[in-house]
């Protein structure tokens, strides 16, 4: 199991979760943040600091955002397991599900 970042993060990317993560497994895409499912240690430190309540334990993702579980994992298909987000910085893409969304919060 892992944690998943859902739609409330899109176009917000507050990064409080990134600062809280002890294993540096939260990566930054163009419009959203993504938790690497193989690098996450399920500590839960990211969830309570998210100001938009976008982070859920995989089994607790609300039905309306269930597709984010797959999107979060698939984001890493081309990257593999880099072993830490800080060394990569901004990744100049998003999962197609997120890239196709209209601008959020406007």
Residue 106 has pLDDT above 70, yes or no: no
Domain assignment of residue 91, yes or no: no
Total count of domains within the chain: 1
Nearest one of 80, 32, 88 to 17, comparing CA atoms: 32
- In this prediction, residue 99 has a pLDDT band, given cuts at 50, 70 and 90, of very high
How confident is the model over 19-60, as pLDDT tens digits?
999 999 999 999 999 999 999 999 999 999 999 999 999 999
- How far is it, in rounded angstroms, from Cα 77 to Cα 27? 13
Tell me the CATH number at 54.
3.30.70.20
Nearest one of 13, 20, 22, 38 to 89, comparing CA atoms: 13
Domain assignment of residue 104, yes or no: no
Question: CB-based contacts of 102: which residues, under 8 Å, 6+ apart?
Answer: none
Q: What sign has the CA pseudo-torsion 71, 99, 79, 57?
A: negative
Write out the residue range of the structural domain in which residue 38 sits: 3-86
């Amino acid at each position: 199991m892992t944690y998943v970042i859902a739609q409330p993060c899109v176009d917000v990317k507050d990064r409080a979760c990134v600062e809280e993560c002890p294993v540096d497994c939260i990566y930054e895409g163009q419009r959203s943040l993504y938790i690497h499912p193989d690098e996450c240690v399920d500590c839960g430190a990211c969830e309570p600091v998210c100001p938009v309540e976008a982070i859920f334990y995989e089994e607790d993702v609300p039905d309306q955002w269930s597709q984010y579980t797959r999107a979060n994992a698939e984001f890493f298909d081309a990257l593999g397991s880099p072993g830490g987000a800080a060394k990569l910085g901004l990744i100049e893409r998003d999962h197609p599900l997120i890239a196709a969304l209209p601008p959020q919060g406007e």
